[in-house]
Amino acid sequence: MSTTSLKQRRVNFDDPQRERAEYTRSQEIAILGKILMQPSLIGEIKSRLPLEMMTSQITYNLLAAVYGLYDEGRQPSIEGVLSRMPGGADAEIEPGVTQRTWMVSLIGRSKDYLFMPWLDVLETLLDVRTRDMLQAIGSNLSAGSQGQISTLELIQTAVGGLDTASTFIRPRGRLTYTVGGAASALLERLDRNEALNWPTTGFTDFDTVLGGWPRGQLSIVAGRPGMGKSAFVTSSLLRGVRKSKFVDPDTGELVPQNALMFSLEMNKEQLGARVLCDLAYIRAHPIMVDQVINGKIDTRERERLEDANVKLKDMPVLIDEQPGLTISEIEARSRKHFADLKRKGKRLDVVVVDHIGLIRADFKAGFNRASQLHEITVALMAMAKELDCAVVGLSQLNRGVEGRDNKRPDLSDLRESGNIEENASVVAFLYRPAYYLAKQKHDDHDLENDRLEMLARVENDLEMIVSKNRNGRVGVQTLFCAVGSNAVRDKNFGG
């Protein structure tokens, strides 16, 4: 049997379907031939070429066998590969051609593959197959628009397909190194006196525990309603941008960190009121968020809000507000913002999702909410690695905390919300003692006085309970929080 010519040529998308299929198959055969001649390339090719890209059964089966042997640390010999292929060596691909004779013929053309520009062939194959997927998505949209499928389901299916297609062409960023190499890289960074390039949380007290939001990792900030999750995260973003520690390698100047926030709960007006009250905050004369929303502010307070608004100009924090987003939509929009920043010579530093309980799962996640949350956090963790940014997901704890005397949350409370903690590098809980003290009332005069004294001492305390930290220590760090003004600060910020 003779394999299809491997000569490189430009793809003509006006060719008949058969010619296009034959050309695609020739690319697959070329990659397989290169793998068999140079097994050292298997790892790199495996990281970029998924089995689903193969268009014929024989190329799919052969590549699956090679990948399986590679995963076991074995070289892809003829017998080893054939033993893994369905039907064995003597199974016929077509009349008179067995899997063995096909593979022997492939190897017999070794001279065609030895000096082949395999990377160009791989990129061409990925491009052609991705275009095939895009055409299929377009055809499905066209057919579905005439049927009984809802427009929302059509869009969600298309977004999922586009997300899958993008995974085949986006850079994987795969790294291989020895443990010694990893240790040496760390020591070299220390010798250069370079700090971690993690984005700051915006709070010096919290950064002393975490070192900043871990880049390339998922962090979870969880709490019950009323604990100040939204206040914390909006204040963190604003202060993080203003306290940026990144140095532009070309100018040597400090540059702000770029952030993207998905607001699945708050609308534009609510967010606007929060950030203005935060930036305008003066401890002796706070402006309350509800007063701003209801228009109950005086002239001086309006001036302070105007001054705060000036500070917001050109702040590199993009808000994406839309309820009911799926995880695929969040991934796609994050990649778009990442690409937009990259074209401008900038990087995406932080992505915040408020909150993950409001993310709608894709159809493939099933109907069990715990399983859906697991799939969502796996996707967020993968997105953090892919975009090399910190991803911070807010999570609302269930009512189990309310049923016990000690209402400080711990990891067991989060485990009941779909094993979210497994996929996070950092898990921090928010707890405001004043929230519960304010609800308590005692008939006993002495007990009531004790409660009021305690309430006065902790009125503005926001405990950050770091219960999991893959990168360092755990513990409790107390911040200042004026929840009504959406203002969160370091404990001793000075007013």
- Residues annotated as catalytic are 265
Do residues 495 and 286 touch, judged by C-beta distance below 8 A? Answer: no
Edge-first strand listing for the sheet containing 218-223: 317-321, 259-263, 350-354, 390-396, 218-223, 426-431, 461-469, 475-482, 487-490
Q: Map residue 206 onto helix, strand or coil.
A: helix
Per the listing, tokens 């778009």 go with: 336
Name the nearest CA neighbour of 441 among 455, 456, 451.
Answer: 451
Q: At what angle do helices 17-37 and 57-71 cross, to 10 degrees?
A: 30
CA–CA separation, 335 and 338 (whole Å)? 5
Q: What are phi and psi of 184, to 5 degrees?
A: -65, -40
CA–CA separation, 51 and 35 (whole Å)? 14
CA–CA separation, 260 and 346 (whole Å)? 13
* DSSP secondary structure, 68-108, as one string: HHHHTT----HHHHHHHSTT-TT-EEETTEEHHHHHHHHHH
Per the listing, tokens 């975009």 go with: 387
Output the CA–CA distances (angstroms, integers) from residue 2 to 30, 101, 421, in the order listed. Answer: 13, 10, 54
CA–CA separation, 311 and 307 (whole Å)? 7
